[in-house]
Structure formats: structure tokens, C-alpha cells
Amino acid sequence: MENLDQKFNETIKMGLEIVKETEEDRLMTLSVGPQHPGSGHFRFTIKVDGDYVVYCDPDPGYVHRGEEKMCEYRNFIQNIPHLERPVIHDSTNITYSYSLAVEELTNIQVPLRGQYIRALASELNRQVYTLYWLGIYGIFLGHSTMFMWPVGDRELFIDLLEALTGARVTHAFNIPGGVRNDMPEGFKERCLRQVAYFEKRLDEYEDIFYNNPLFRQRTEGVGILTKEDAIKLGVTGSVLRASGIPFDVRKAEPYDIYNEIDFKVQYMKTGDSFARSMVPFLDMRESCQIIRQLLDKMPQSGEVRAKLQPNPKGPAGESYKRVESGRGALGYYIVSDGTPKPYRVKLSVGSFRNILALPYLLIGSKLADMPSIYWSLNYWPVEADR
């Protein structure tokens, strides 16, 4: 394993200097994406020397929408529906930290039942996202059963969220001050039934996918990110936990009612593609336990949202809040100048932080390992571009 600094310098050198003519014959430049079925709306250029990747240059921005600029034109409440567009499969989590930040700025207190329902929705939504990610990871490695099963089981959680929020994918459920509406009748029983079924399914996933010798061969020992490199690159979420650092925002800095929930931070030490694909799976198991506890400890009645002013605003100030989303820490930095519209909104998203690891992992590995490394980074192109 080469030293990171050395690798970094080489990358830059190769990117900036024109490759010598003699080498030009040997190296082949490949453009992966943006039309590639697996890469999403994202392109990266790689140069290969025979089977080995010697250069990689990520080129995001194909779905850049200017979310941060759009926020400056709308008031705090109007921002909710468009802020969930970057990652519609995890829309409850991406509006969660926004709501937390606005609550700090405008000094709103969320009722206890609202906090529980909000956490419940975000756990359910994390399952939806992780299952979708797992399905694509499966089809990426040619395992089509692993595409069908998670996408099928994802419907269970989508149905639950539809009953809870009224929409299948883009819920706009988290708002500053709580959640939009209370739980429907009989939701608890329905939720518990489906979680119990899903836990059985997780065992089957493990048998058919994670214990599959073909899958293991393609991921074990591939694209190793050491603990030191992971810290240096500042990666987050499952990529970080796969490299042996048990960091989870829910544990490190509990928001809302997470300090009352008993759960373990799942992590692994190998740092290869297998660990990066296993950690989200372990997280799904843990999430089932969290959902049970949330339903158990939830107050039986009460308000779910605080009463808001028509145009909530607070004194001038700023706030930085983060939550644990499906792709790691998701932070919002909001500056307010005392008007109902934010002066500046910055999203610090997990995908944008994790993609820094792509060149480091790809350079020096075989081209055939590219899919398993790329998708194990838990990268969502639309979220990274914002």
C-alpha cells in the first residue's frame, strides 16, 4: 500500500502534466458516465495501463441545481420541499438537520411526541435508502436477485411511510417545529409486523449475498482504505465505519431523543469493499431495534408540532447542525440576518465528502474492481452536486 501523500502527489502530477508521448501509446483513457447505467449522473475519467488504473479524475456537476442559491430566495418553510430533491430516497433525513438548524435559529421547541415521530420517520427512510443502494450494488456486481429482493422489500417501508406521511418518496414531513401530522391509527402494530418480517428477510440476504463466494471474491481485500487515510480524507458514514472508526452522529452528538435510545454503533476494521458493503447491512439490523424502541417509548398522545408564526424568523445568527443520514453525517450551515429568509445555506453532504476517496482507492487497482469500489463508497451523485 503506497503512502497517501505520495499517491496524492502522483495524481496531481499526472493530471496537470501532459502525459509523455511514449506513454500516450500505452495508456488508454476511459470515460465512465454520465450515461453509464450504474454511475448515475456522474462522470469520472480514468486512465488504464493494461488492467490497472493509473489515473482517476472525478467530474461531478451534471445534476447541479443550485440548491444553496435557491434557499436564499425562499423563506424557512418554503425551502423544505426543494431541499429534499437532492436525495429523494432519503428525504426525511436531508430535511432533518435543516429543521434542527432552523429551530435553533428561530428558538422553536419541538414537542416530545413530535421528536419521536420524526426519529421514527428518519429511521424508516434510512431503510428505504439503504435497500435501494443495496439493490444497485447487487446489480452492479451482476447479482440480479440482490436487485429484485431489496427493491421489493423497500416497498414495505415505502408503504409505511406513505401511511405516515401521505407521500411515497418525497414526504416533506420534517418541518421546523416538529412533523406535519400525527401517526395514523394502527400504525404501531403494522410497523412492528413489517419490521419482524424484514428481520427474517435480512437473514436471507446474508445467505444469498454476503455469504456468496462470488461476491466475497469480488469485494474482499479490494480497495482498502486504512484508518489513517480515512481520517485524513475526512470520509463519513459507512465508509468511515468500515475503516474501523466507530463514529455515528446519533451517538457522538445525540440530537432530539437519540440519547434515550440504546443501540450500538456498527463498525468493521478491514476497510475493504466488503466491509463498506457490510456496514450498511449491519446498520439496517440495528435500525430495526431502534424502530422498536422508538415505538415503545413514544408518548401515547400529545402535540406533534409546535405552533409557528406565519413567517418564522429569529435574531441574526448562525447555526451548524448535523444528523446521521444514509450516507453519513449531513450538516447544514445556515446564516440568518434576522429576516424570514436565510442569508446563506450550506449543505455539507456525505456523498461530497466520500467521493474524495475514489481516486485514492481506484489508482493502483484493477479495472474490474471499479464497480465494487465505486458503489461501495455509498455515493449519491445528485446529493453531491446539490
Partner 1 sequence: MISNQSNTQNGSEQKEKVSELAQTSLSKKTETITPEFESSIVNQLVTRFTDKVVQVVYVRPGRTKILVPPNEIVQVAKFLKDNLGFDHAESVSGTDYPKDNQIEVIYHLSSYSDEKLSSHVLALSTRVDRNDSRLPTLIDLFKSTEYHERETFEMLGIYFEGHPRNERFLLPEDWADIPPLRKEFRIKGR
Binding site for partner 1 (CB under 8 A): 4, 8, 12, 15-16, 60-61, 64, 66, 68-70, 73, 104, 107, 109, 216, 220, 230-234, 240, 245-247, 251-254, 259, 264-270, 278, 282, 318, 320, 322, 329, 331, 333, 335, 343-344, 346, 348, 352-353, 355-356, 385-386
Determine the 3-state secondary structure of 175 from DSSP. Answer: strand
Contacts of 51 (CB under 8 A, 6+ apart): 366, 367, 368
Nearer to partner 1, 9 or 145 (CB): 9
Contacts of 217 (CB under 8 A, 6+ apart): none
The count of residues in the chain is: 386
| DSSP secondary structure letter of residue 316 | S
Nearer to partner 1, 264 or 297 (CB): 264
- Judge whether 359 and 58 are in contact, CB under 8 Å: yes
In angstroms, give the least distance from the CB of 194 to partner 1.
Answer: 25
In angstroms, give the least distance from the CB of 318 to partner 1.
Answer: 8
Nearer to partner 1, 8 or 187 (CB): 8
Would you state the cell numbers that stand for residue 225, as one nine-digit string?
Answer: 482504505
Nearer to partner 1, 204 or 220 (CB): 220
Nearer to partner 1, 5 or 185 (CB): 5
Would you state the cell numbers that stand for residue 89, as one nine-digit string?
Answer: 430516497
Of 281, 276, 282, the C-alpha closest to 357 is 276
- Judge whether 120 and 299 are in contact, CB under 8 Å: no
For 60-132, where are the E strands, in sequence order? Answer: none
Distance from C-alpha of 30 to C-alpha of 52, rounded to nearest angstrom:
12
In angstroms, give the least distance from the CB of 196 to partner 1.
Answer: 22
In angstroms, give the least distance from the CB of 206 to partner 1.
Answer: 10
In angstroms, give the least distance from the CB of 260 to partner 1.
Answer: 10
In angstroms, give the least distance from the CB of 19 to partner 1.
Answer: 17
Nearer to partner 1, 182 or 253 (CB): 253
Contacts of 213 (CB under 8 A, 6+ apart): none
